[in-house]
């Protein structure tokens, strides 16, 4: 399907690996020029090079912490105006409710709620002026069904979801859509780390943790960054212009809910 976005320009935050990388690859396949961001330079350059070698698009990189105000300023200055914004950052650490104090919440809220809001605040007026824009926020299935050990994530994502619910309706009349993608279990470094922590805390093998987690997914496997990216690219397409303020769960059926 021609997504009708060839020649557009996208900023994909936190995109050297994992879900952000999947989104960047799929947007590149649709002909979108990219600004990629991550903190670590090496993986970022490797991903940029991979995309340049596969697709005929322009790819720039900005190595910076997107959750810091200096990092945001650098990314925004280097990126300039964009048509598509994919918000993403690393997720907060797991734990139990009694582990977390004010500083932990501030850090999670900053990375997973206030940072995407800051980037939207910057880009929405530019998109409105152009009469076209797409924002996709990578959040989590925990928005639909809480993941107890990820209480910091549950809290920050809920805040961002509330912001998007109202703001997306305010910008929709100007051809700008904002939607959230809610990943369930996907095969990325983060899930590998979380699985390793469960293995350590429960004293069971990593293989067993993976088997148990897989069994909790009706599709019977972890998701891939390619299928996640394809959904992101579709949400940025011309065809998706009537999809506003939605929370699309990509979880292989893991959230057991009727709606």
Q: Which residues bind ligand NAP (CB under 6 A)?
A: 14-20, 37-40, 43, 65-67, 88-91, 138, 140, 153, 183, 185-186, 188-191
Closest contact distance (angstroms) between CB of 223 and ligand NAP is 7
Closest contact distance (angstroms) between CB of 190 and ligand NAP is 3
On the 0-12 / 13-18 / 19+ scale of CB atoms within 10 A, 30 is: buried
Between 90 and 133, CB nearer to ligand NAP: 90
Closest contact distance (angstroms) between CB of 10 and ligand NAP is 15
C-alpha to C-alpha distance for 220 and 18, rounded to whole angstroms: 20
Between 84 and 171, CB nearer to ligand NAP: 84
Token pair of 60 as six digits: 């720039």
Closest contact distance (angstroms) between CB of 8 and ligand NAP is 22
Closest contact distance (angstroms) between CB of 253 and ligand NAP is 14
Helix or strand or coil: residue 52?
helix
Helix or strand or coil: residue 73?
helix
Q: Which residue has the tokens 């903190």?
A: 39
Across 66-218, the runs of DSSP E, i.e. the strands, are: 84-87, 133-138, 176-183
Between 64 and 171, CB nearer to ligand NAP: 64
Q: Name the helix (H) or strand (E) containing 33.
A: strand 33-38
Closest contact distance (angstroms) between CB of 12 and ligand NAP is 10
Between 9 and 186, CB nearer to ligand NAP: 186
C-alpha to C-alpha distance for 206 and 181, rounded to whole angstroms: 28
C-alpha to C-alpha distance for 111 and 104, rounded to whole angstroms: 11
Between 44 and 171, CB nearer to ligand NAP: 44
Between 91 and 133, CB nearer to ligand NAP: 91
Backbone angles phi, psi at 116, to 5 degrees: -60, -35
Rg of the chain on CA atoms, in Å: 18
């Amino acid at each position: 399907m021609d997504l009708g976005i060839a020649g557009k320009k996208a900023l994909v935050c936190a995109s050297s690996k994992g879900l952000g990388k999947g989104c960047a690859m799929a947007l590149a396949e649709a002909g979108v020029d990219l600004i990629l961001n991550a903190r670590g330079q090496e993986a970022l350059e490797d991903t940029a090079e991979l995309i340049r070698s596969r697709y005929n698009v322009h790819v720039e990189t900005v190595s910076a912490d997107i959750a810091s105000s200096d990092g945001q300023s650098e990314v925004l200055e280097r990126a300039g105006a964009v048509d598509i914004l994919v918000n993403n950052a690393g997720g907060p650490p797991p734990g139990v409710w009694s582990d977390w104090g004010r500083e932990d919440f501030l850090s999670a809220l900053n990375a997973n709620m206030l940072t995407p809001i800051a980037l939207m605040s910057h880009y929405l007026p530019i998109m409105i002026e152009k009469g076209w824009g797409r924002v996709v926020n990578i959040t989590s299935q925990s928005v639909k069904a809480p993941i107890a050990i990820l209480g910091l994530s549950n809290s920050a994502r809920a805040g961002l979801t509330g912001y998007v619910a109202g703001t997306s309706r305010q910008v929709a009349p100007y051809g700008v859509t904002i939607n959230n993608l809610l990943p369930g279990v996907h095969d990325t470094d983060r899930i590998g780390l979380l699985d390793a922590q469960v293995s350590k805390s429960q004293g069971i093998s990593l293989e067993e943790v993976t088997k148990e987690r897989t069994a909790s997914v009706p599709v019977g496997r972890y998701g891939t960054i390619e299928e996640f990216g394809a959904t992101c690219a579709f949400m940025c397409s011309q065809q998706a212009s009537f999809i506003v303020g939605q929370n699309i769960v990509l979880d292989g059926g893991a959230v057991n809910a009727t709606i």
